[in-house]
Structure 1
Amino acid sequence: MNEVIETILNHRSIRSFKDKALSAEQVQAIVESAQAASTSSFIQAYTIIGVTDPVKKAELAQVAGNQPYVENTGHLFVFCADLHRHDIIAEMQEVDLTEPLESTEKFMVACIDAALAAQNASIAAESMGLGICYIGGIRNSLDKVREVLNIPSRVIPLFGLTVGYPDRITDKKPRLPFNNIYHENGYQADPEEFKAQLEQYDETVSNYYLERTKGAREDTWTGQMAAMLGAKSRMYMKDFVQKQGLNKR
């Protein structure tokens, strides 16, 4: 096993950071690492917004559910699916790109490009000894995020990424069993085998919480998922995405 794999396997979300900003060199290295990620057909359909203004960070922390580590972090990045620059390309090249830019396929390309870039950025940051945490909570109110960050049409803020010097390192959460994630030569969909794997995983997760909280919690993963998915959060998303001129065809 090499150092890159060790860094990847050692990942855990950090939600408590020291009061120390990232240097300009660190920010540039993280963003350039993000840009080195694969991108579908060289389309590069994403933008990264660094948020350093204390007022803007406080507003985004409030949107994200009053999470203090959104505001109190070394650096806050916001990753966006972005086809706005491709509208500019249409003007420059004097072509009509409306249909492809509004297609579900190009929306998926933009989301995938942004996610690939973000994961490169995360690994780069962790390789420097920094900690990270993805912030999906900014999607609680994308109208507010659009206002705070001056987001134009054909751009969707997907998630934040807090990066900083860890103040407290948490235990690593156990992942799903290997065979539940990795299937060879086709999807292995035997429901009884799936249930057996998930029951085993529930026991692992429950033990993790019991140990981490000294007996205060014993959640199962399937119980968490049933409760979370049943809450029907952010159901406005389709309307927002289409209002931004994406995923309309």
Structure 2
Amino acid sequence: MNQTIETILQHRSIRKFTAEPMSEQLRNTILDCAIAASSSTFIQCVSIIRVTEHDKRVLLAEYAGGQEYVASAAEFFVFCVDFNRHQQICPEAKLGFAEQTLIGAVDAALMAQNGLLAAESLGLGGVYIGGLRNNPDKVASLLSLPKHVLPLFGLCLGYPAQSPDVKPRLPRSLIVHENSYAPLDREKLASYDQHIREYYRNRTGGSKNMSWSEQISGTLNKEARPFMKQFIEGQGFSLK
């Protein structure tokens, strides 16, 4: 096992940061690593909004559901699918296809993960902020995002002021299928559920007693931002 693999396997979401700022050189290294990620058809349809104005950070923290670390992290980036740049280059570009939405979402995720892994390898920590999609219209307005630019998620980065345990992932046997899709192994799922229940008990001092199955049931038994379809289409995505 090498240092790269150790960094990947030790990933934890960090939600408390010190007040230490990030140097320009370090920030640029992380951004360069993000930009080096794979790009479908080399279309490079991602833009990153670096938010440095405190008032905007405070509003974004509010829009994301009161996640105060959006305002306190050393750096905060918003990852966006961006075909506006392409339209400026090629005004006759055929946009609005669902495939382009998928390409942009995949490329943005690859880029962000590259950046986060680079940051973690350099002693920093971070957390993704999908909560920006609670109020995508307000985020787009605040950041002056034109049509054909879609804000997907944010990324807080900074020096960790906490060291949480690694959250156990689903075992490989429940994720990796060979040659064809396999039915769910309920026995292995039950074992994982117990593992997660113990993890939450230890993490919260016994105040949270929940399995993974119970957690996803609670999440998937309610609406999942039903307004997103209208917003996505309003930004010129997934129209056809």
Output the TM-score relative to the length of structure 2: 0.97
The aligned residue for residue 73 of structure 1 is 73
User: What is the count of residue pairs matched by the alignment?
Assistant: 240
* Equivalent residue, structure 2, for 1:109: 103
Partner of 1:143: 137
Amino acid at match of 1:134: Y
Tell me, what secondary structure is at the counterpart of 2:150?
strand
SS at match of 1:80: strand
What residue is the counterpart of 1:41 in the other structure? Answer: 41
SS state at 1:71 partner: helix
1:239 alignment partner in structure 2: 230
SS of 2:135's equivalent in the other structure is helix
Number of the residue aligned with 1:133:
127
**Deviation of 1:231 (Å):** 2.2
Query: Match for residue 5 of structure 1?
Result: 5
User: Residues of 2 paired with 1:208 and 1:114: CA distance?
Assistant: 31
Q: Are 2:216 and 1:225 equivalent residues in the alignment?
A: yes
- Percent identity of paired positions between Structure 1 and Structure 2: 45
Superposed CA RMSD: 1.0
Q: Deviations over 1:159-183 (max 9, x none)?
A: 0000000011111110001111111
Matches within 5 A, 1:1-249: 1-91=1-91, 96-98=92-94, 101-188=95-182, 190-191=183-184, 193=185, 195-249=186-240
Paired with 2:65 and 2:115, the residues of 1 have a C-alpha distance of 24
What's the CA shift string for 1:163-210, capped at 9, x where partnerless?
Answer: 00001111111000111111122221x24x2x2222111100001111
Q: Structure 1: any 5+ residue segments left out of the alignment?
A: none
Bigger drift between 139-148 and 20-29 goes to 20-29
* Alpha-carbon shift at residue 78 of structure 1 (Å): 0.6
Deviations 1:206-243 (A, max 9, x none): 01111122222111111111111122131100110010
SS at match of 1:212: helix
Letter in 1 for 2:61: A
TM (norm. structure 1) is: 0.94
- Which is worse superposed, 38-47 or 223-232? 223-232
1:227 & 1:178 partners in 2: Cα distance?
Answer: 24
Q: Which runs of 4+ in 1 moved over 2 A?
A: none
Name the amino acid aligned to 1:56: K
